Structure 1
Amino acid sequence: MHILFVCSGNVCRSVIAERLTRAYATEHGLSELTAESAGTRALVGYPVEPRAAAVISGLGGDPAGFRARRLCERMVVAADLILTMTEEQRDRASALAAGAAPKTFTLPEAHRIATLTGADTVARLDVFRDPSGTAGAPGIADPVGLSDRAFVEVGDRIAGALFPLLARLAPRPGGHPRPAAPGGGQRKA
């Protein structure tokens, strides 16, 4: 499964989610689970914001070598699942390619659907989506310009929604039980 994460600038929220997904896949030997990220108004070529990099490291990911990219149709088409931070980003991403809407959710929306319904595939997430188009869960706010604490809170919110969702959706090698979050989901000291 290839997941595309989307936010605005692609230097904080979406890169946190991307790098945590990569860490999760590596830790659990899930070679079929891949991730990338992009921004609707990306700061193309910029590295990850330093405070977001600290959050990624603190949650068990690796921020090294990242460069921001702008969301494009090719990325949307290539993704099996698209997870955005806000409804507006979800709607923009799904409008980029025909057939993208059924695989495009906000991260909190996908987490909420999976938790409430037990959905364990992208198709089942779509079946249980609110037909009104409302995510049913607040988006994840951009921490840029805010305190270090705000970055930590955003990282924790992303991890809190992402790891349980990955545990439900991630391809399992050899039919083994779905893995837990990296390091048990606990922030490194």
Structure 2
Amino acid sequence: MSSGAPRFGILAVCTANICRSPLIEVLLRAQLDSSRFEVASAGVQGWDRKPMDSMAAMELQRLGHSAEGFRSQAINSYFVDSSDLILTATRAHRSDVLGLNPQALRRSFTLVEFAALSSIVSADSPAELVAQAALRRSLAPAEVDIGDPYRRGPEVHRATADQIAEAVATITARLNALVGAEAVQG
């Protein structure tokens, strides 16, 4: 892949873009090659320019990353239209995304749903992984929502962060393997 090739865009979405989707964004960005992937996050009721929730930021720090410089933003049609993969915290957030652009269905999944599907479908590229996951969506587990930890105790924030970290690790391992395979083939 040449250095001028477009990057694969990933958008993480939750309610206010201060707890779950920033965790997803930072963990994805840390584990994916920035020359191949572009990662952002937004909230369906996004607060403009707010820092990450302090409890979520502490969990991010526990996982070895910083929330320094993060500012929340509201989702808009541009974010949806320019993303190759949209990962939401819940099915309701996915519905909100589809309200902005129904055509985004084939590239919109909950984080847990896409992690499960990315482990079982065959693909030769990130774009093909998204396409194959969309075709086999019915194979995803029944429970794919990540609960909202906002204004809840430390144990809820820890469980949420661990759930997100596990799903992100599964997804990034698969995406990294696919871009590695592309490089070998190209």
Structure-2-length-normalised TM-score: 0.84
Query: Who is 1:86 aligned against?
Result: 90
| Equivalent runs, 1:1-189 vs 2, <5 Å | 1-25=8-32, 29-118=33-122, 121-130=129-138, 136-170=142-176, 172-173=179-180, 175=182
Counterpart Cα distance in 1 of 2:38 and 2:78: 16
Q: State the shift of 1:168 in Å.
A: 1.1
Question: Could you say if the C-alpha distance between residues 135 and 89 of structure 1 is closer, same or farther in structure 2, counting changes exceeding 3 Å?
Answer: farther
The CA distance in 1 between the partners of 2:180 and 2:83, in whole Å, is: 20
Quick one: distance in 2 between partners of 1:123 and 1:61? Answer: 31
Q: Conserved in 2, the CA contact under 8 Å of 1:20 and 1:60?
A: no
Question: What SS does the aligned partner of 1:37 have?
Answer: strand
- Structure 1 residues 92 and 135 mapped into 2: Cα distance closer, same or farther (>3 Å)? farther
CA distance in 1, matches of 2:183, 2:82: 27
1:182 is matched with none
The answer to whether the 8 A contact 1:106-1:135 is kept is no
TM-score when normalising by structure 1 = 0.83
Deviation for aligned residue 1:94: 2.1
**Identity %, equivalent residues:** 30
Once the two structures are TM-superposed, the CA of residue 136 in structure 1 deviates from its matched residue by 2.5
Distance 1:47 1:63 in 2: 8
Check whether the contact 1:40–1:89 (CA below 8 A) recurs between aligned residues: yes
Q: Say whether the 8 Å CA contact 2:18–2:72 is kept in structure 1.
A: yes
Which runs of 5 or more structure 1 residues have no equivalent in the other structure? 178-189
Farther off after superposition, 6-15 or 111-120: 111-120
CA offset digits 1:14-38 (Å, max 9, x no partner): 000001111112xxx4421121100
| Cα pair 2:46 2:75 within 8 Å, conserved | yes
SS in 1 for 2:31: helix
Q: What CA distance in whole angstroms lies between the structure 1 residues aligned with 2:43 and 2:13?
A: 5
The DSSP-based 3-state class of the residue aligned with 2:86 is: strand
Instruction: State the distance in 1 between where 2:98 and 2:152 align.
Output: 29
Q: How many residues align?
A: 172
User: Structure 1 residue 98: deviation in Å?
Assistant: 4.6
Structure 2: state its 5+ residue gaps: 1-7
Q: Aligned-residue CA RMSD in angstroms?
A: 2.2
* Alpha-carbon shift at residue 137 of structure 1 (Å): 2.5
CA distance in 2, matches of 1:157, 1:174: 28
Matched AA of 1:15:
P
Q: Distance in 2 between matches of 1:7 and 1:32?
A: 24
Higher normalized helix content (fraction of residues) = 2
Assess if the C-alpha contact under 8 Å between 1:84 and 1:105 holds in 2.
yes
Report if the CA contact (8 A) 2:18-2:50 is conserved: yes
Is the Cα–Cα contact under 8 Å of residues 12 and 40 in structure 2 kept in the other structure?
yes
